[in-house]
Amino acid sequence: MTPGTVLQIVLYAIGIHLLTHLLVPLNIRWSNKHGIVAQPSERKIHLQARPEAGGLSFGLPTVVAIFALGQGLLPDVLGRMLMLLAGVGGLTLVFGVLDDRFESRVRYKLIWQLAVGVIMFLIGFRVNTLTNPFGAEFILGWLSFPATLLWYLAVLNAINLIDGIDGLASGICVIVCAVLLIVGIKEQNIVVVALSAFLMAGNLAFLRFNFYPARIFLGDTGAQFNGLVIAAIATAGTTQFKGITSMTLLIPLAVLAIPLIDMALAVFRRFRVGSIFAADKAHLHHAMLALGLSQKAISLIVYIVTLLFGLIAIGFSFSSKKILFLVLLGLLMLMVVVAYILMRQGRNK
């Protein structure tokens, strides 16, 4: 990365942060005016109506910054990829606003997410390799396409499903992006650095309005956009994490441990009741609420655990992958057990 490019990324990130602070109050008024409001219901924990589509506040300036950076990098292939990503990000915001306004059925969201996976594969953001802690990386070959679809489905839904209490999803995204930013800087990967810095700057500003008691919600607009960009960071083109041999998907998988575990348990739980599309209030954060923890306490606990996984993930860039993989695997197994127990106890309350 050249000093000029680094300065450009820093200035864009600062711009996104400042613009988000300015846009949130406008977003609140706009959402209320157009009826993009989350009403209290049996499936939701808030007791008063709150404006949704909060993701527009940081999504719009982030899309502009990604496009501008991509245009500045042309004719490099990374420049074209960033400009195309900005286009997909814009479409994701539009779909998210429509979803927040009209509450699309889950199957329609799934179709959209599959379409996103296909588009991202075609423009170059693909899962080409998988980290093997005990040897050479696995080259996926023709399995790259289904692996890419699965990755985008997993991340988009994980961020969406964890967005159940004030500030939880936004705070997780800040930590995830901070971890990816550190590794991107260490390995001098411009795509990882830029996308991580932009999304972190936007979510950090939005968190001021979204932390308990929230004045505005992320909505599907913000959750889907966050999921898209994080998934894209982890699949940075055919030169996936160029220079980051210790990374590929392992670091994003580690730092997204809580959302992914929550999503996996939700899929298992819903299969048992007969429909994967059946919404419920049995997520990890719901179980913790049922046990008497406040929204603030839950968010802070999840932040700390996510940061712990993030620090372990960063260690993959500096130490033995075998040792850290075994530590990570043990922690993941422990987390699954703890999450399952909490959910069982929460349902019994």
* Stretch 24-38: mean pLDDT: 93
Other Cβ atoms less than 10 A from the Cβ of 323: the count is 11
pLDDT over 50 (residue 124)? yes
pLDDT over 90 (residue 88)? yes
pLDDT over 60 (residue 334)? yes
| Cβ partners under 8 Å of residue 270, min gap 6 | 276, 277, 278, 280
Average pLDDT, the chain: 83
pLDDT over 80 (residue 337)? no
Q: Which has the minimum average pLDDT: 20-24, 43-47, 230-234?
A: 43-47
pLDDT in tens, 277-318: 566 666 777 777 877 788 888 888 889 888 888 887 787 666
Can you tell me whether residue 165 is helix, strand or coil? Answer: coil
Separation of alpha carbons 227 and 332, rounded Å: 21
Pairing, β 138-139 against β 50-51: unpaired
Looking at residue 230, what is its pLDDT?
A: 94
Helix (DSSP H) and strand (DSSP E) numbers for the chain = 13, 4
| Cβ partners under 8 Å of residue 160, min gap 6 | 220, 223, 224, 227
Pairing, β 37-38 against β 50-51: antiparallel
Kindly indicate the confidence band of residue 273, based on its pLDDT and cuts at 50, 70 and 90: low
Q: What is the DSSP string of 81-125?
A: HHHHHHHHHHHHHHHHHHHHHH---HHHHHHHHHHHHHHHHHHT-
21 or 183, which is more confident: 21
Kindly indicate the confidence band of residue 47, based on its pLDDT and cuts at 50, 70 and 90: low
Token pair belonging to 134: 């005990």
* Stretch 181-202: mean pLDDT: 90
248 or 326, which is more confident: 326
Separation of alpha carbons 322 and 131, rounded Å: 11
Could you tell me the residue ranges of all domains in the chain?
A: 3-348
| Cβ partners under 8 Å of residue 162, min gap 6 | 168, 169, 172, 258, 259, 262, 263, 283, 284, 285
Q: Which residue, among 63, 40, 41, has the nearest Cα to 50 in the 3D structure?
A: 40
Going by the DSSP 8-state scheme, the letter that residue 234 receives in this structure is: T
Other Cβ atoms less than 10 A from the Cβ of 32: the count is 14
pLDDT in tens, 156-177: 988 988 887 888 999 999 999 9
Looking at residue 242, what is its pLDDT?
A: 44
